[in-house]
Amino acid sequence: MKKSVGAVETKHFTFAEAEGFKLESGRTLGPITLVYETYGQLNADKSNAILVMHAFSGNAHVAGPATGDQDPAWWDFMVGPGSALDTDKYFVICINVIGGCKGSTGPSSINPKTGKPYGIDFPLITIADMVRTQKVLIDHLGIKKLHGVIGGSMGGMLALQWVACYPGTVECVIPIAATLKHSPQQIAFNEVGRQAIMADPAWKGGNYYGGPVPEKGLAVARMLGHITFMSNDSMEKKFSRRLKDDTHAFKFSADFEVEGYLQYRGMSFTKRFDANSYLYITKAMDFFDLSDSKWIPEGGLPGTRFLVIAFKSDWLYPSIQSQEMVKQLQMRRVDATYCETDSTYGHDTFLIESEAGKQEHLIKHFLAKRK
Amino acid sequence: MKSTIKRLDHQVICGIVESSAKVLDLGCGNGDLLQLLVERQGAKAQGVEVNNEAIHACVEKGLSVFHSDIDSGLPYYPDQSFDYVILNQSLQEVKKVETVIAEALRIGRKAIIGFSNFAHLEARIRMFFEGRAPIVSSLPYDWYSTPNLRFLSIKDFKSFCAAKDYKILAAHFLDTQGQVRVLPNLFAQNAIFVITK
C-alpha cells in the first residue's frame, strides 16, 4: 500500500496587480492569481524541485486527500513518499494554469475593470503564457533551476514549452503522451467540442455566469473527449455491446452501457469545469507548435535530458508524435530517452493507476542523479 | 578495484573505445556493455533498443536509450555525431544490413561490429558430417526459432568490407577462452571488427 503524501494545503500567489502581465497576443492580464500545491521539502540549495504540469482539465491537486469540494487528486499514485516523484527526496510543485477554472485566473474570474466575470473578454492565452506565468511563481519561490518538469498530454506540451522558454533551467524533462504540435485531427476534435459549447443557447456568447450554464454543450464536448482518451480495446473491455437494462427500449435512450457512461461523464464534467475555460485551453493547445525545432538552441541543451514516454494504444496523441519529438532532439544532439509503453488504455494511460508500474519505474530511475 | 569483465566480447570492446568517447550502441539490450563503457571509459553513451524490458533495464542503469528497431531508428542522428557506433551481436537480426552499416558509418566515425562466425569448426562439422544447418554455440538457436536473419562468416564480412570499400582498422577473433590467432575463420566463434569509411 502506497504511503500517502498527507494533508496538502492549497496556496495562492497573486502578481501583476499594477502593470498587468503582457501576454503573447500583446494584450495584458492582471492581476493574476495562481493556485498551487507543494509536496515534500525544498532542500537548502533549492535544487530538488520538480514542477508537475497538469493536463487539459487538471488542477493543482496532484496528490493527497481532497478537501471540501476539491476534485480527487489526479496523480496520487505518482507523487508521495517512495513514489516515482518521491516526496522524501523531491519538492514537488503543481500550479493550475491560467485560463482554467480551478482557482487560477481564467474566464470565470472577476474582471477588475467591470467587477463581473471576464467571460470571453478574457484574452486568448497560449501554452507559453501558461508557462511564463508559472515561471513568475517559481522565481518567487527562489528556485533557479528545476530538477525536473513533467506532465502528460497538455502537461507534456507545457513541459516542452518550459524548456523552450527557459533553456538551462531544468535537468530532467518528461513529456508523456504529448506532441510538438496538434495535428489537424487533434484540432478538429477540439473544434467539435468548442462548437458544441457555442451552439448551446445557454452559452450566450460566453456571458452565462450567474445564470444557467451551457451544460448540454459542455457535456457533448466532454463525451467526445472521452472517446478520444480511450482506445477501441479498452472500450471493448469496459463496455463491449452490453445493454444497461438487458433489453432494447426501441427509443432514443441510452441503451448501451457505453452511452450511459459517456452521458454520465459528460454531465459530471459540467459540475467541475467551466465551458469558457474549455474554449480557451483547447485553443491554447491548438496554437501550440514547437515543431520547427528552433526552440532548441544551436548548441543543444547541455545539462538537460529528456525522457519521452508514449503509449502504443494512444490514437489521440499517437506515438509517432513522440517519436518526432525525440528525432528533433536527436538532430540537435540532445540527450533523450524514448520508450513506447504497451498499454491498451489509450491516451488516458498516464492517469490510470493499474498501468502506473512501467511509467513509475522509468520516471523514478530517470530522475535519479547521474554520475 | 574494478571487477573483471565477464564477457570476452565486452572486454575487447572496452579495449577499443578510448576514454570519453561518444558511443551509440545499436541493439544495446539491457545496457550491460554501455554501462561498462560509461564506468570504465567515461564514455558518453546512448543506445537504440526495441525490447521494452531491456529499455527499462537501461534507464535503471542511468543510460539514454531510444526505443526503436535498428532498421528504422537512425536517420535523424547527425553526421559524424559519435566516435563509435556499435553493432554487437545485433547485425544478425538486421533486415537492411547494407543501409544500417552505411548509416552507422555516417553517424559514427568508426563502427564496431561483433558477430558470430558461422564458419566455425563446430558449425562446419554439423553441416558436413551431420548434414544439419549450422548452429554455433554462441548463438544456439534451431532454424525454426532463431532470431537471426543473417548467417555470415569472418571471410564473408571481410569480402563485404572490400566490396563496400570500408577500411578494417582492427579485427579481434574470439573463442570461449580468449583471442584466436590461427585460422580465425575456422576456429573463432566470434569476431569483432572496427571499420571506417
CATH class for the region spanning B8-196 = alpha beta
Q: What is the DSSP string of A22-90?
A: E-TTS-EE-SEEEEEEEES---TTS--EEEEEP-TT--S--SS---TTPPPPSSTTTEETTSSEETTT-
Q: What is the mean pLDDT of chain A?
A: 95
pLDDT band at A1 (very low <50, low <70, confident <90, very high): low
* The pLDDT of residue A247: 78
Do residue B76 and residue A362 have CB atoms under 8 angstroms apart? Answer: no
* A280, A199: one domain: yes
The reply to whether B66 touches chain A by the CB within 8 Å rule is: yes
Catalytic option among A314, A319, A343, A348: A314
Asked whether the beta carbons of B106 and B99 are under 8 A apart, the reply is no
* A277, A338: one domain: no
The reply to whether A337 touches chain B by the CB within 8 Å rule is: yes
* A70, A165: one domain: yes
* A235, A306: one domain: no
Q: What residue numbers bound the domain in which A217 lies?
A: 185-284
Do residue A331 and residue B78 have CB atoms under 8 angstroms apart? Answer: yes
Q: What is the pLDDT of residues A284-312, one digit of tens each?
A: 999 999 999 899 998 899 999 999 999 99
What's the CATH number where A270 sits? 1.10.1740.110
State how far the Cα of A117 lies from the Cα of B37, in Å rounded to an integer: 61
Query: How near does any CA of chain B get to the CA of A303, in Å?
Result: 13
Active site residue A347: yes
* The pLDDT of residue A90: 98
Do residue B62 and residue A335 have CB atoms under 8 angstroms apart? Answer: no
Question: Which residues on B lie below 8 Å from A358 (Cβ)?
Answer: 52, 56
The chain B residue lying nearest A339, using CA atoms, is: B67
* A28, A170: one domain: yes
Catalytic option among A104, A109, A153, A343: A153
3-state secondary structure of A212: coil
In this structure, what C-alpha cell is assigned to residue A214? 451551457
Domain boundary among A250, A265, A284: A284
The reply to whether A259 touches chain B by the CB within 8 Å rule is: no
The chain B residue lying nearest A306, using CA atoms, is: B64
The reply to whether A331 touches chain B by the CB within 8 Å rule is: yes
* The pLDDT of residue A16: 97
Residue B46 φ/ψ, nearest 5 degrees: -135, 155
The chain A residue lying nearest B42, using CA atoms, is: A371
* A127, A220: one domain: no
The reply to whether B178 touches chain A by the CB within 8 Å rule is: no
Q: Which helix (H) or strand (E) holds A9?
A: none
The chain B residue lying nearest A335, using CA atoms, is: B64
* A246, A314: one domain: no
The chain B residue lying nearest A361, using CA atoms, is: B56
- pLDDT of residue A253 exceeding 50, the answer is yes
* A43, A122: one domain: yes
State how far the Cα of B171 lies from the Cα of B186, in Å rounded to an integer: 15
Domain boundary among A227, A250, A284: A284
* The pLDDT of residue B141: 86
3-state SS string for chain B:
CCCCCCCHHHHHHHHHCCCCCEEEEECCCCCHHHHHHHHHHCCEEEEEECCHHHHHHHHHCCCEEEECCCCCCCCCCCCCCEEEEEEECCHHHCCCHHHHHHHHHHHEEEEEEEEECCCCHHHHHHHHCCCCCCCECCECCCCCCCCCCCCCCHHHHHHHHHHHCCEEEEEEEECCCCECCCCHHHHCCEEEEEEEC
* A42, A115: one domain: yes
Instruction: Establish if A44 belongs to a structural domain.
Output: yes
Question: Which residues on A lie below 8 Å from B60 (Cβ)?
Answer: 361, 365
* A58, A134: one domain: yes
Q: What is the pLDDT of residues A74-89, one digit of tens each?
A: 999 999 999 999 999 9
Question: Which residues on B lie below 8 Å from A366 (Cβ)?
Answer: 59
Domain boundary among A221, A249, A284: A284
Mean pLDDT of A123-133: 98
Active site residue A343: no
Contacting B residues, span 32-51, partner chain A, CB-CB under 8 Å? 46
Exposed, middle or buried by CB within 10 Å (0-12, 13-18, 19+), for B6?
A: exposed
Question: Which residues on A lie below 8 Å from B63 (Cβ)?
Answer: 337
Q: What is the pLDDT of residues B58-114, one digit of tens each?
A: 999 999 999 999 998 788 899 999 999 999 999 988 999 999 999 999 999 999 999
Question: Which residues on B lie below 8 Å from A323 (Cβ)?
Answer: 68
The reply to whether B124 touches chain A by the CB within 8 Å rule is: no
Instruction: Establish if A68 belongs to a structural domain.
Output: yes
Do residue A335 and residue B46 have CB atoms under 8 angstroms apart? Answer: yes
What proportion of chain A, given as a percentage, has pLDDT over 70? 99
What is the value of ipTM here, to two decimals?
A: 0.91
What's the CATH number where A80 sits? 3.40.50.1820
Number of domains chain A contains:
2
Q: What is the pLDDT of residues A254-284, one digit of tens each?
A: 889 999 999 999 999 999 999 999 999 999 9
Mean pLDDT of A339-344: 93
Active site residue A69: no
* A171, A118: one domain: yes
* The pLDDT of residue B192: 98
Asked whether the beta carbons of A120 and A208 are under 8 A apart, the reply is no
* The pLDDT of residue A371: 61
Instruction: Establish if A161 belongs to a structural domain.
Output: yes
Instruction: Establish if A197 belongs to a structural domain.
Output: yes
